[in-house]
Structure 1
Amino acid sequence: MDSLMKLSRWALSAWAIALAAGLASCAPSTPPTDGGSPAAGGGTIAITGAGATAPNTLYQRWFSEYRQVKPNVQISYQSIGSGAGINQFLAQTVDFGATDDPIKDEDAAKFPKDRGTLIQVPTTGLFVVFAYNLEGVKDLKLSREAFCGIVDGSIKTWNDPKITKDNPGVNLPSSPITFVFRSDGSGTTAIFTNHLVAACPNWKAGAGRSIEWPIGQGAKGNEGVTAQIKQTPGGIGYVEFTYARENNIPMATIQNKAGEFITPTPEAASKALDGQKPGANFVIRVPDPEGKESYPIVSLTYVLLYGNYPAPKGSTLKDLFTWTLKEGKTAATELGFIPLPDSLVSEVVTKLGTVEEK
């Protein structure tokens, strides 16, 4: 994985993506590679997965497009949260799990021994934003002091001086702040709270998929938090970028470790991953990136696979995720995710090749 250290950018350049999209529109869909033709002939192959809500929009796009090239592969993905997805995977009620928070040792210890070796591989990069509902306010800036105070409850109203000082000329109301958090076991929460631990000196609630929040209202899934913010004047919460963008919810520009205010964009998020070297099971942790231009709340998201499957599911899953990594980069970029660099894709495909059929 040392080759990843040589990367200068994760996200593909704008011109390369435009070129790729243009070529794709003029050419037939590329068939899946690696894993043969598991869906050629015969009946329907049903694949089920469950877990992380953050990448759900991308997964649904990928699985729909894959169906166009492998018509008798039907993929059903339940967007139920990373914690629930891990539980279903360990209970063997789905063919793959999905999580934004790499599986913990205590969970991995419950992996069924007759299914070979647990396989965890990344699918894409993503980032978490502060989405908010303030009438007439479209360009909110939040310093670390400000957003740390919002989440720990020490800042209670929108016109608090710690917020207004970075927003001159913005008419911030005296109304109370309503913080919205995830009520379910969530990889998005793990990403967000790991950043709070690193960025907020007074944060006492720790980090993880589920924590005891000091204040606020809970909602289930990125979908639920998004809906709660939309219907709550004065609301603010954390969601994956595409949920805020697709629902036209404003996102705060936030201060990073270098002291710069960074607008949440895929380009700024990709800079947080520059030069990062994956550890065991492809884990990359950047709770508080150093880069001056880096958006600070960024992570990879992962799928969990069994080491062996009954035929033809093993070859189908290898083929599916190889296809998403290679042919799905344009969709990932269009939706606001961060495609994996080619060097890492190559390593992930090699790992996928270890899946066996019995």
Structure 2
Amino acid sequence: MRNFKAILMSSAAFACAAVASNTAHAGSYAYGAGATFPQIAYRQLMDCLYDQVQGSPGKPGPLAKAANCTGFNGSGFGGGILYAPTGSGNAKLVLRTNDKANIGTPSNSVPYTDATIGVNATSDYDGVQFVGSDDVVTSSDITAWNSAGNPARFGNLIQIPALVGPVAIGFNGTDGTGAPLNILKPTPVGGSSGLNLSRNAVCGIVSGHITKWNNPILTALNGGVLGTGNITFVHRADGSGTTFLFSNALATQCQFEIGPNNETDSTTVSYALPWTDRSGACPRPVARGANQLNWPDQFPTDQCGNAVSNSGGGTFANASGSGSLVALVASTNGAMGYASSDFWLPVRTGGKPTANLQSQWDITNATGKFQPPTPAGASKAMASAVPQFPDMTTRVNPLAWSLQGVVPNPVLPDSYPISGFTWINMYQCYANHANGNNGFIWFRTWLDYLYGSSNAEQILNDNGFAKVPSPWLIETYTLLSDPNFGPAQTGNGGCATIAGAY
């Protein structure tokens, strides 16, 4: 295993030397946008290594210091990173165009501006050096990258895992009438409630067939009637990597689940994920893992003009961004929805609780256990994915990472069943900035901190996330440090003749 502390200090020294001629040293920043899934953890990690972001008038102020951060600007170099959480779907557009004008409206959960350095909006960003995405790079993304002429402008598209996290199902705590849920089961270790949902129950709710809190399936799982009234399932309306992780898991896990059509119709129907990929090809897009789905409350017809059927009569609602989704769950009687665990109890003080789910191990071995969405459970889930890149040609291909970096149905004991990587997408080649602010260096130094610092690992755990497993870190650093294919500023390595991204 590489000495990550040595890597961090070496990279940090490189950063210091590279900006030594810049009189606005403290104003040297990197800029990114994308996934809301890791936004709070990213902000705390960025603030701990660099200067704390102060926000701007009308924008969120400084985020509270992470409990395991001993002090802001731990690198001693000043500067920082600004990250605009806009969703994974938007991230891919921003990376492909290298155009900050394409950054959408960011979530207000974390500061993404800083008036003290003159950045009051994303239009003030000094370029875009990276994006975050929970949705893996697809063949369509590579086609769009190549069609835009990006290999000649920016080099390869680089995709590497940033952290591991669970997608938790949080719930309001009341039934559809506003009465408190009657939860009798004990709360498991690491969980935030005693609400247990079997795979059949999750699939039935998401497919719109388990529609009431007094459904017999829920009653049997939880030792009595939980409540009455409608279950309102809240989903993301925007292009979301969290939706990809959620739907990619359920597309596999639900394919053989069956049950009654609803509480008043005993006809046996499939509980397979019915909501099709919003970007899928016509005439009939398929139901699969995607960053936006054809949910019945949002799209009466799909992109091909086919009616979106909700045969079970489930109740759905939608919101853009994880923060807005969680707020809608909190304000809607009988609601539940999905977001990363840092938006719910026990990670978020005062947040809403989360349900415990069955893993494949629990189902196969009839353990009777239900798994809470914890960093340990997510880490166990992703431990079954071990990368195999026989050569650099394979390693430099983002699709090879995408293919091996998803676990839609984890099989190891104590796995949390809806887990995944959130990814960093970046350029191979970076332009030299005339103003001396070469954001790539600041971002590259932060990657070393994220991957190699025990302090960073503690901050991840406190936010409900886990560190990338060692086999993936080894492959990540093999790519990052390759002299011909690794990321570099123009004029170096494989970027000798490429202008690079700004």
Q: TM-score range by the shorter chain?
A: 0.7 to 0.9
Match of 1:266 in 2: 375
Match of 2:295 in 1: 213
Match of 2:15 in 1: 38
Relative to 1, partners in 2 of residues 1:224 and 1:33: Cα closer, same or farther, differing over 3 Å?
Answer: farther
What is the CA deviation profile of residues 7-35 of structure 1, one whole-angstrom value per residue up to 9, with x for unaligned ones?
xxxxxxxxxxxxxxxxxxxxxxx964436
Match of 1:336 in 2: 464
Unpaired stretches in structure 2, ≥5 consecutive residues: 2-6, 51-72, 100-127, 174-179, 184-192, 256-271, 276-286, 297-314, 364-368, 389-399, 433-437, 491-502
Q: Which whole-Å CA distance do the structure 2 matches of 1:255 and 1:48 have between them?
A: 39
Alignment-mate amino acid for residue 441 of structure 2:
S
Deviation at 1:252, TM superposition (A): 0.6
Deviation at 1:176, TM superposition (A): 0.6
Work out which of the residue numbers 123, 129, 133 in structure 1 matches 2:162.
Answer: 123
Q: Is the 8 A contact 2:172 2:352 kept in 1?
A: yes
Match of 1:229 in 2: 329
SS in 2 for 1:272: helix
Equivalent runs, 1:154-193 vs 2, <5 Å: 154-169=209-224, 171-193=225-247
SS in 2 for 1:129: strand
Q: Which whole-Å CA distance do the structure 1 matches of 2:446 and 2:238 have between them?
A: 28
CA RMSD of aligned residues (A): 2.0
RCO comparison, higher one (Cα < 8 Å, 6+): 1
Alignment-mate amino acid for residue 439 of structure 2:
K
SS in 2 for 1:218: strand
Q: Which whole-Å CA distance do the structure 2 matches of 1:70 and 1:101 have between them?
A: 34
Q: Which whole-Å CA distance do the structure 2 matches of 1:130 and 1:329 have between them?
A: 24
Alignment-mate amino acid for residue 414 of structure 2:
E
Alignment-mate amino acid for residue 240 of structure 1:
S
Match of 2:401 in 1: 281
Once the two structures are overlaid, the 10-residue window that deviates more, 158-167 or 204-213, is 204-213
SS in 1 for 2:292: coil
Q: Is the 8 A contact 1:32 1:320 kept in 2?
A: no
SS in 2 for 1:126: strand
Matched, 1:355 2:490: no
Match of 1:141 in 2: 196
Once the two structures are overlaid, the 10-residue window that deviates more, 280-289 or 143-152, is 280-289
Q: Which whole-Å CA distance do the structure 1 matches of 2:40 and 2:78 have between them?
A: 22
Q: Which whole-Å CA distance do the structure 2 matches of 1:192 and 1:153 have between them?
A: 16
Size of the alignment, in residue pairs?
A: 329
Q: Which whole-Å CA distance do the structure 2 matches of 1:109 and 1:309 have between them?
A: 21
TM-score by length of 1: 0.86
The 4+ residue runs of structure 1 with deviation greater than 6 A are none
Alignment-mate amino acid for residue 333 of structure 1:
N
Q: Which whole-Å CA distance do the structure 2 matches of 1:302 and 1:33 have between them?
A: 24
SS in 2 for 1:197: helix
What is the CA deviation profile of residues 307-331 of structure 1, one whole-angstrom value per residue up to 9, with x for unaligned ones?
1112333333322211211122221
Relative to 1, partners in 2 of residues 1:242 and 1:32: Cα closer, same or farther, differing over 3 Å?
Answer: farther
What is the CA deviation profile of residues 103-148 of structure 1, one whole-angstrom value per residue up to 9, with x for unaligned ones?
1121122332210111111111011011001224441111111111
Match of 2:45 in 1: 62
SS in 2 for 1:320: helix
SS in 1 for 2:14: coil
Q: Is the 8 A contact 2:214 2:227 kept in 1?
A: yes
State, as a whole percentage, how many aligned pairs show the same letter: 29
Matched, 1:251 2:354: yes
Alignment-mate amino acid for residue 221 of structure 2:
D
Rg bigger for which structure?
2
Matched, 1:197 2:251: yes
Q: Is the 8 A contact 2:32 2:83 kept in 1?
A: yes
Q: Is the 8 A contact 2:80 2:442 kept in 1?
A: no
TM-score by length of 2: 0.62
SS in 1 for 2:327: helix
